[in-house]
Chains A and B, each alone.
Chain A
Amino acid sequence: MAGFDKVVSSYEEAMQGLEDGMTILAGGFGLCGIPENLIAEIQRRGTTGLTIVSNNCGVDGFGLGLLLEKKQVKKMISSYVGENALFEKQLLDGELEVELTPQGTLAEKMRAGGAGIPAFYTATGVGTPVAEGKEVRVFAGREYLLEEAITGEFAIVKGWKADRYGNVIYRHTAQNFNPLAATAGKITVVEVEEIVDVGELEPSQIHTPGIYVDRVVLGTFEKRIEKRTLKE
């Protein structure tokens, strides 16, 4: 099936065209809903000088932490980082640049990027270090910062189910940044737990319509838990 068929048969094919110095938007919050196999494929490729836009940066040895091992990341744009020792070391050694961005602003930057909105005003960060160098404008007596949208050459996304047309649904809170990243990549790659026939997903329940998606790949997932917390 050609036409709208987005399914590719390997991870190598899924990340074809990735080059040094590109910007990659990644879904996930902590280790929840991260495109773990696509990240491992980027590590395998050894692509360097990457700018990664992701809320967090994984942990040592898993998730985006893998890309630190061979120093593939030039810059992280994130809201909360440093859950890994290697990250801290590379930051202190000046090998890694970090642009800390408030979580809601980061989500909206991706959303805006995918929606063709170049910038937006938000009250978040006014009067803080985040405001440095940014335009401030007053609306109805309150100050707002001008924040610019983010797009990337690639978006890497973890879905639950997709059909061959690239319509995607996410499972529980593994949704997080995934649908936002999916809209803002020039090439959007989605790895999923299950690929279903076209027509099987209820149209009104689809989170990411296939128009945003370029490639779908089927994977198996470890789904590591960062903070396993049980009821006492």
Chain B
Amino acid sequence: MALTREQMAQRVAQELKDGFYVNLGIGIPTLVANYIPQDMAVMLQSENGLLGMGEFPTEETIDADMINAGKQTVTAIKGASIFSSAESFAMIRGGHVDLTVLGAFEVDVQGSIASWMIPNKLVKGMGGAMDLVAGADNIIVTMTHASKDGDSKLLESCRLPLTGKGCIKKVLTDLAWLEIENGAFILKERAPGVTVEEIQAKTQGKLIVPDDVPEMQFAQAS
């Protein structure tokens, strides 16, 4: 079975470490915040200028001057800091953020990513995505393995205009956990019940399948 959005967020959360500063993109990456282990301290960075993003507010605490990079109203945790957008991108570009999680349309075997522009469709902009992929060393891309029409999103070479060149090393799809090395996707884990053959069939770029490809493990409940 392909992973649900929640399971994808859960799997990404397994990559968190105590003391990490993390930037989560819009969509599935945002859900990762729901699966931060209780005994772990993780601080969320929002690129509009907030380090230490908290949960959504209540009717009583909602504040128009307090939003995240997705323009949603949020709160700040105890110990948070707030700063200008230049300061925010200085910490991103300067490699100070420990983990960035973001969505994409396509990723290729060279680690290039396309996530912002589909030719002949209205282009809204790249926002902070180009800065995030260029600045972070540790990036996880989350996306479905193939389009609704069955077209692979894991390619030999991205077809859409790029967001960043040669910057992605880890990809979580609804079918698999993969790492990118030496011009190939390495299949590290399978979603429970998904076969290597299915993943192979839906991966257009070069795929290396090790002898043992374990199924992903998920904690009970949650």
Contacts and interface: CB of A to CB of B under 8 A. Distances in A.
A190 to B, nearest CB: 15
Interface stretch (A66-74, A127-135, A209-217): A127-135
Given A30-B67, A104-B85, 6 more contacts: A102-B129, A122-B134, A127-B165, A128-B130, A130-B130, A227-B70
Nearest to B53: A173
Given A127-B164, A173-B67, A82 B86 contact: no
Contacts, number: 175
A122 B128 CA distance: 14
A59 B206 CA distance: 44
Contacts of B48: 29-30, 32, 173, 176
Contacts of B88: 104, 107
A102 B130 contact: yes
A134 to B, nearest CB: 13
B130 A107 contact: no
Interface of B: 46-50, 55-59, 62-68, 70-74, 76, 82-86, 88-89, 92-93, 112, 117, 122-131, 134-135, 161-166
A126 B134 contact: yes
Contact of B85 (A126, A130, A180): A180
Contact of B134 (A110, A125, A160, A174): A125
Contact of A107 (B58, B85, B163): B85
Contacts of B82: 172-173, 175
B126 A173 contact: no
Interface string A106-137: 11101100000000001111111110000000
Contact of A227 (B73, B112, B125, B129): B73
Nearest to A178: B84
Interface string A65-91: 000000000000011111100001001
8 contacts: A105-B131, A106-B85, A126-B165, A129-B161, A173-B50, A176-B49, A228-B62, A229-B72
B162 A127 contact: yes
Interface in A89-109: 91-92, 100, 102-108
A167 B48 CA distance: 22
Contact of B162 (A80, A128, A173): A128
A33 to B, nearest CB: 7
Most buried by A among B88, B89, B162, B163: B89
A107 B92 CA distance: 12
A79 B125 contact: yes
Contacts of A231: 55-58
B169 to A, nearest CB: 16
A107 B89 contact: yes
Interface residues of A, number: 56
B65 A174 contact: yes
Contacts of A31: 64, 71
Identify the 6 closest CB pairs spanning chains A and B, nearest first. Answer: A104-B89, A127-B165, A104-B131, A80-B125, A223-B64, A229-B72
Nearest to A126: B165
Contacts of B129: 102
A50 B112 CA distance: 36
Contact of B71 (A78, A108, A123, A226): A226
Given A80-B127, A125-B130, A229-B56, A32 B65 contact: yes
A230 B86 contact: no
Contacts of B93: 104, 122-124
Contacts of B125: 78-82, 100
A104 B128 contact: yes
B131 to A, nearest CB: 3
A15 B101 CA distance: 42
Contacts of B55: 231
Contacts of A105: 89, 130-131
A179 B135 contact: no
